[in-house]
Amino acid sequence: MLEGLRVLACGARDAVKLCATLLERAGARVDSAATDGADYEVIVVSSDMDIAQWKASGAHIVCDITATGAQDSRSGTPWTDAQIQAMSGLMDTTGFSNGAPVRIGIAFAEISAALYAASAIASAVRVKRQRGIVQNIDVTLMGCAASALTTFLPAAFARRTAARVGNRHPACAPWNAYRTRDGWILICTSTEEQWRKLRQEARVPQLDDARFATLAARVRHVDELDALIETWTTTLATDDCTRLCERIGVAAGPIVGIAELHGEPNFRMRHAQAARAIESNGIGAHTYRQVSIFETFALSEARDVVKPQTRKIDDHAAPLAGVKVIEIGQYTTAPLVGKHLAALGAQVVKIEPPDGEVARSWQPGQGGTSYFFALNNTDKQTIELDLKHEADRAHLRALLKDADVLVENLRPGALAKLGFTRETLGAINPRLVYCSISGFGIASAYPSRPAFDTVIQAMGGLMDLTRSDGAPVKIGASGADILGGQAALFAIVARLASPATEGTFIEISMQDVAAWCALFAAGQDAPRGEALACLDGHVWIEGEVSDAERARCITLPKAAAAASIAGAVAVMRVDELLEDRDFLADVLSAARDANGAFWPVLKVPYRLSRTPASVRAVPGAPESVRRAPPAPARAPVPEDRPV
């Protein structure tokens, strides 16, 4: 992928260290101290050091990772990850509704910045190798943190305040962490059929009450519902409850302690060496390096020589101009990948099911499309296909013939059941880069277990590290989905930067990515700090907090407390960001749809100086591909069997 690339990584931020690890995993040679006469193609820094000479030289791709942008009123201060969580709104989205905001237990902004920086660097390397252009890159932790707010910003756009929900889902129930006889389990239902099966297995008579007859009713009475569910889960061991839920098709999983991660069956199966090392020596500063966030394989057994496609590209075009991507996915992970590939200049064709992706109809929105869908699907061409029909599968095969990338987040094996195995894809297009994103990976201890973001956070160690008054709580943003999508983005762009032309299969397990992040956090000294209540919200204070500071904060508005107490920053609500001039200037943007309507969207949090990525348009309704009528036949032709 990035073999032959020489990288110098020097800077105090964790994001620099993690970015270097990612580039090294993709094949680059990384040094942490400059060698005399060394010809570095890429330099990764955080501008707590003098980098003006490197940036001005034009000899290197220089990636500068900072807390805020140069035009931000808070620039020049080395804000910590926790302070960025507070300033960006991320902290206020994490925690229980009746408690204080919670610092995410991993350095989320640093990790996200490392992943986006690695993708931007791979994009710049591709440009240099294709066009000879060398450019600088700027990445901000603030922009990366704000980019994770796609589930909370829609309420703010509709002038509403989104409350913290703990481990619940604002629109689905039951969906929560429940105590078991020996620990905790996450149970997540999203359909009436799942609820019916769960109710039958629980055998709690009160669950048949009319208060829980519909989804809307269950959400209204969620406190009573959760209490009744827990009367059942506390009678079971966690493993028994998990197996039962898997058998009936309900997403569920234990909250795995970071110290017990080495014994988690899927982690141990996929990362046996790391599991043995943790078991023998515990978690150290470099343990995370033994876990890979992506795996690559040959797409098929065929090893035919493949001629690269040659497309004329303007020197000033975006990095992925000329690349064609097919996206099959919903909600967050694959759509996030497609969104950034499109921003980087690729032609992205999104395949939606009949009647469109479910997330299109979520509220709030405008013109029949949700803000959530718009935020995650900018700059894509959308097509409606029913892949249960052969004519529509044939249309997909035609699209794949000249595609460069296929990315999907279907359940493992779903695409193969439709006739699109890796071997088949290799026959259709021998040079295709195919990326599959799933909860537990293709080779998994749980081949039939469904997974949601919350379950992966629980089983990847993230929830164990994020706690409110001792209770485990999920990252408010869809942390496992977002970080999994970022890992896929980097792997795809790194492969596109390679001169290799053979077909490649990229496997992303969101649990692998979550475990990588959790192990990195567990190997560092845990930062100290506390969110203190003020008259109108909270402030975050770094380090030890005194009783006098607690007493003082409760008498002050948070802006006054942040201004008068050393190390304090205001914990911003997401709706407050829309009145923050730095957020409006550096993070928020506007795009148009096909009807000319304006939409609030997010800028990408990385800036390439000469071939910039950009967010331009919101897609309209998916184009309907009309199937040809069946040919006349002497006998009726049976319909395709549903998958």
Positions marked active-site: 481
Secondary structure class of 356 (helix, strand, coil) = coil
Question: Which 3-state string (H, E, C) describes 43-82?
Answer: EEECCCCCCHHHHHHCCCEEEEEECCCCCCCCCCCCCCHH
Residue 620 has a CB neighbour count (10 Å cut-off) of: 14
| Number of H-type helices and E-type strands within the chain | 25, 26
What's the maximum distance between 2 C-alpha atoms anywhere in the chain? 89
Residue 58 has a CB neighbour count (10 Å cut-off) of: 10
Do residues 26 and 16 lie in contact, with contact meaning Cβ atoms separated by under 8 Å? no
E runs forming strands in 294-416: 295-298, 324-328, 347-352, 365-366, 369-370, 380-384, 405-408
Tokens of 144: 């990366």
- The rounded distance, in Å, linking the Cα atoms of 176 and 164 is 13
Q: Which residues contact 331 (CB under 8 A, 6 or more apart)?
A: 357, 358, 359, 376, 409, 481
Q: Kindly tell me the burial class for residue 133, based on how many C-beta atoms sit within 10 Å of its own C-beta (0-12, 13-18, 19 or more).
A: middle
Q: Which residues contact 147 (CB under 8 A, 6 or more apart)?
A: 112, 116, 482, 587, 602, 604, 605
Bridge partners (DSSP) of residue 472 are 467
Q: How far is CA 209 from CA 4, 58, 219, 223, 638, in A?
A: 65, 70, 14, 14, 43
What does DSSP say about strands 29-31 and 6-10: parallel, antiparallel, or unpaired?
A: parallel
Residue 72 has a CB neighbour count (10 Å cut-off) of: 21
User: H or E segment at 222?
Assistant: helix 222-233
| Residue from 487, 494, 482 nearest 320 by CA | 494
Cis-peptide, bond into residue 557, ω within 30° of zero = no
Counting every residue, how long is the chain? 643
- The rounded distance, in Å, linking the Cα atoms of 533 and 467 is 17
- The rounded distance, in Å, linking the Cα atoms of 295 and 405 is 16
- The rounded distance, in Å, linking the Cα atoms of 470 and 255 is 13
Q: Kindly tell me the burial class for residue 595, based on how many C-beta atoms sit within 10 Å of its own C-beta (0-12, 13-18, 19 or more).
A: exposed
- The rounded distance, in Å, linking the Cα atoms of 179 and 184 is 4
Distance in angstroms between the alpha carbons of the first and the last residue of the chain: 36
Q: Kindly tell me the burial class for residue 578, based on how many C-beta atoms sit within 10 Å of its own C-beta (0-12, 13-18, 19 or more).
A: middle
Tokens of 539: 């402030």
Cis-peptide, bond into residue 174, ω within 30° of zero = yes
User: H or E segment at 436?
Assistant: strand 433-438
- The rounded distance, in Å, linking the Cα atoms of 288 and 284 is 8
